[in-house]
Amino acid sequence: MPESKNLLVVINPGAKTQIALEKAARIAAGGDRITALLPAGPVAERCRESLEAQLENLRVLGLKACLETTTETNLQRAVLVAQHQHDTSLLLKEPQASSLTDSLFTPLDWKILRTSQTPVLMVRQSEYSADAPVLAAIEAQPADAEHQALSHRILQLARDMSHRLSAELCLFSAEPAPMQDALHESGNPILFPGNAADEYRQSSLALAHRYDVPVSRVHIAQGPAEVLIPEQAKRLNAGLVVLGTVARAGLSGVLLGNTGEQILERVSTDVLVIPPLPEKRAETA
């Protein structure tokens, strides 16, 4: 049974349909609380009545739902404050990119993704297809303890979401391509073990077994993650992709990096972004 969560939903005042709120209602389990965060401004005031009606409908269905209006004009700061006040477990937001740009995300979206203290579900669709799986994208052979912990956290949350959505859980890992032509400093070729691919597969299967993912739903491909993860999500018709970010030393608050941002731009479905644990963020600040 999924553990109870406090869900914080960032309302888009200019939208006719609040797909992030609809998605929160879709994934909410017994004991969860939904807080709708309404940004300050005249547009927000005009949608308050309809928003209250939506929340009342959720309460009729037995969900705990409330509206919070922020007077903070800086939405990024308002989100961080609300996350702390409500002990938020999951933040849900609809990307609000302009049609005038090729990017799916606004600068504000990126700021929230980079600074959020909790997982962020970027919602692009209000409904999931009944056969759309949850795809957990991990590193099967992480280079350090931080990446190892992140892979486990991705799988834990992906499994939780799959239960909430009554969806299959799939695991995908992009195996680094062997650098067969790489040279040692001496000028001699570096020889890579021939069973490296087998070892990588076994590591992937071990993780899958630990989180109850059958072998038939484990997918491994060799190449760059920023290309392979979007391709695999499309191939499987995934309803949700779960991936992680790690803090980079010397860049306080910068968590996504080039690879993570490319994946987010290329994946056309919902994406759940898992940040590093708070203590890891503090170490790199």
Please write down the HEC assignment for all residues of the chain.
CCCCCEEEEECCCCCCCCHHHHHHHHHCCCCCEEEEEECCCHHHHHHHHHHHHHHHHHHHCCCEEEEEECCCCCHHHHHHHHHHHCCCCEEEECCCCCCCCCCCCCHHHHHHHHHCCCCEEECCCCCCCCCCCEEEEECCCCCCHHHHHHHHHHHHHHHHHHHHHCCCEEEEEEECCCCCCCECCCCCECCCCCCHHHHHHHHHHHHHHHCCCCHHHEEEEECCHHHHHHHHHHHHCCCEEEEECCCCCCCCCCCCHHHHHHHHHHCCCEEEEECCCHHHHHHHC
Residues of the chain with CATH 3.40.50.12370: 6-122, 134-274
- Which pLDDT does position 182 carry in this prediction? 47
User: What pLDDT does 185 receive?
Assistant: 45
Predicted local distance difference test score (pLDDT) of residue 193: 54
Look up tokens 């890992």; give the residue. 173
pLDDT for 133:
97
pTM for this predicted structure: 0.86
Q: What pLDDT does 137 receive? A: 95
Integer Cα distance of 36 and 132 in angstroms: 27
Give the pLDDT score at 278: 61
Query: In whole angstroms, what is the distance from residue 149 CA to residue 152 CA?
Result: 5
Residue 278 is encoded by which pair of tokens? 């708070």
Give the torsion sign (CA, 24, 25, 30, 33).
positive
For the segment(s) 134-274, the CATH number from 3.30.720.210, 3.40.50.970, 3.40.50.12370, 3.40.50.150 is 3.40.50.12370
How far apart (Å, rounded) are the C-alpha atoms in residues 117 and 105?
Answer: 19
Task: Give the tokens for residue 8.
Answer: 């914080």
Predicted local confidence at residue 125, as pLDDT: 85
Residue 222 contacts residue 197 (beta carbons within 8 Å)? yes
Q: Which residue has the tokens 């869900």?
A: 7
Task: Supply the pLDDT for residue 257.
Answer: 57
Q: Spell out a b/e string for 250-263, using b for 16 or more CB atoms within 10 Å of the CB, else e.
A: eeeeebbeebbbbb
Tens of each residue's pLDDT in the chain, 285 residues = 456 789 999 999 888 889 999 999 999 988 899 999 998 888 888 888 899 999 999 999 999 999 999 988 899 999 999 999 999 999 999 987 655 455 667 788 888 888 888 999 999 987 778 789 999 999 888 777 888 899 999 999 999 999 999 999 999 999 877 653 444 444 444 444 557 788 889 999 999 999 999 999 999 999 989 999 999 999 999 999 999 986 544 334 334 556 777 888 889 899 999 987 665 444 443
Q: How far apart are the C-alpha atoms of 217 and 220, rounded to whole Å?
A: 10
Please tell me the predicted confidence (pLDDT) of residue 253.
39
The domain made up of 6-122 has a fold known as: Rossmann fold (3.40.50)
Cα–Cα distance measured from residue 133 to residue 269, given in angstroms and rounded to the nearest whole number: 11
